Amino acid sequence: MVGRLNGGLSGLSGLGRLNGLNGLNGLKIRGCIFAIVVILVLWAVGASLSSSPALPSPLIVVISFISDLPELIPHMLVSAYRVIYSILLALSFAIPIGLISYKEKIDSIVSPFIYLLYPIPHIVLLPIIILLFGIGDASKIFLISMIVFFQILVTARDAARNVSDYYILSLKSLGASELDVYRHVIFPATLPKILTAMRISIGTAIAVLFFAESFATSSGLGYFILDSWSRADYNSLYSGIISMALLGFSLYLFVEFLEKKFCKWV
Amino acid sequence: MIEARKVSMTYPDGTEALKEVSFSVKKGEICSIIGPSGCGKSTLLFIFSGLLKPTGGEVFINGRPVNSPRKDVSLILQDYGLFPWKNVRDNIAVGMKIQGFAENEIEKAVNSLIKKIGLAGFERSYPKQLSGGMRQRVAFARALALKPSIMLMDEPFSSLDALSREKMQDFLIQIWKETSTTIVLVTHNIEEAVLLGKKIVVLTERPGTVKEIVKNEGAARTEYRYEEEYFERCREVRKLIGLKD
Ligand SMILES: Nc1ncnc2c1ncn2[C@@H]1O[C@H](COP(=O)(O)OP(=O)(O)O)[C@@H](O)[C@H]1O
Ligand SMILES: [Mg+2]
């Protein structure tokens, strides 16, 4: 009986191979190498044409990056600490508040706050934040996490509100509690959107990090970059910029890893 | 035993979906509900499952009024109700997980169900990678995992092609024979209602009321499709539905 039911379905297994990850990854890696080569060539050509110390050739930058590394690493760690801490802090508030907004009643309380507070350019609050939290890490982390918080919250809330009642009913018919609904429906259904929002937030978080590290501190990559700049040490300036790019890139890769692991179904 | 007593449902927006629907389904019986689109069939199943409170009347299961989902009642929603973010294995397991079964017990039950529905090798596939018939079987497995005494099904085969549809009807008959679960099946397909329902509840257009209850003792056998009585019942039901009040 069962054998008969299964007949004619074997053709489907081939499908998995077609959009399997292997082919895709290979393509992606090749694409990345191509992009890196193009960027480096353009950079090298630009450097040799301008012959300005403000645009050293890629080779010089790589060499100075490696020689600056011992000095750079503590700054990298401080910056990574600040930005990762901020993002985690933002997520730990934004995700729960966003998810519970799937309920009409809660959303009617949350959404006016979003409506009023989200459009403000939060970065202009920096002076107030420094007045309240001092000039240490707390104010930097607060500023970054506040900005990231709103980006994630808006996405998580929209995604949660768009989860179809159909799935909630389907789960509830199995005897699900409210907590089960979050665990089995709302959270997994919104996760792809949340991760996409996180990718975008990483860029924002690093930009704000640079801004927050641009004064009243003597640690972090932002400080390192501005300090090199003021000393007209262009090679170090580039080492700092590359470090910041690497920081963003590795966070980005991490989010991509999470997507691969938890959002295979998309 | 399921008993609907003068069940009425008017949605908050004023849509009157059901009006004083009364009938009962005996323990172990397989009953089909047929009616035109929009006559309140899904609404009625939601009420039976305890997900929706009727605005009038009451539903009793084994003599007790239904106020919330019961552990011994499984509902298979229209379009299967599977979660796109869970693979086959996790979709089947989710009901048992929620009801707090032990992990090794779930593992065992799920493995045997996957074999039963002929989806071995597809444990890690996601619903969108499956054909309609395969999804349907996953939904069955999810419901069966809870060993329900009542299964409610909302147009379970309506999106399948004719061939898979017959196979699934046979599969359902087999399950019913093996488990003697009480089954209430909603459909808008006359042949299906007659093939499967030992009792056929015919509803009117919206607001749905019971137009007629047709006894159909020969049902729930695969051979029934070829018997004179089956064609006779189909004609009878077709006439009932075709008649306008
Ligand atoms: N949540 C709802 N709010 C308002 N009207 C609804 C709702 N759900 C269903 N209806 C309406 O109630 C009627 C019966 O719906 P339904 O039970 O889904 O019918 P069927 O399953 O027989 O096609 C339809 O007219 C439908 O539009
Ligand atoms: Mg329906």
The pLDDT confidence band at residue A24, using thresholds 50, 70 and 90, is low
Task: List chain A residues with CB under 8 Å of B69.
Answer: 172-175
pLDDT 10s digits, A154-184: 999 999 999 999 999 999 999 999 999 999 9
The yes-or-no verdict on residue B208 having pLDDT over 90 is: yes
The yes-or-no verdict on residue A16 having pLDDT over 70 is: no
Average of pLDDT values for A78-91? Answer: 96
Taking the Cβ of residue B85 and every Cβ of chain A, the question of whether any pair is shorter than 8 Å is answered with yes
Average of pLDDT values for B210-224? Answer: 94
Residue nearest to atom 24 of ligand 1 (CA): B38
ipTM for the predicted complex comes to 0.91
pLDDT 10s digits, A226-251: 999 999 999 999 999 999 999 999 99
Query: Which is the closest atom of ligand 1 to the Cα of B203?
Result: 22
Angle of helix A58-100 relative to helix A221-230, nearest 10 degrees, comes to: 140
Proportion of chain A above pLDDT 70, given as a percent: 91
What dihedral do alpha carbons B225, B228, B232, B233 form, nearest 10°? -40
Q: What is the pLDDT of residue A89?
A: 97
For domain B1-72+154-245, say whether CATH 3.20.20.100 is its number. no
Q: What is the pLDDT of residue A239?
A: 94
The yes-or-no verdict on residue A4 having pLDDT over 90 is: no
The yes-or-no verdict on residue A14 having pLDDT over 60 is: no
Residues of chain B with CATH 3.40.50.300: 1-72+154-245
A10: tokens are 């074997």
Q: How far is B239 from chain A (nearest CA, A)?
A: 34
Q: What is the pLDDT of residue A108?
A: 94
The yes-or-no verdict on residue B233 having pLDDT over 90 is: yes
Closest residue to A2, CB basis, from B82, B116, B130: B116
Cα separation, B151 vs B156, whole angstroms: 11
The pLDDT confidence band at residue B180, using thresholds 50, 70 and 90, is confident
pLDDT 10s digits, A99-146: 999 999 999 999 999 999 998 899 999 899 999 998 889 999 999 999
Count Cβ–Cβ pairs < 8 Å, chain A vs chain B.
Answer: 89
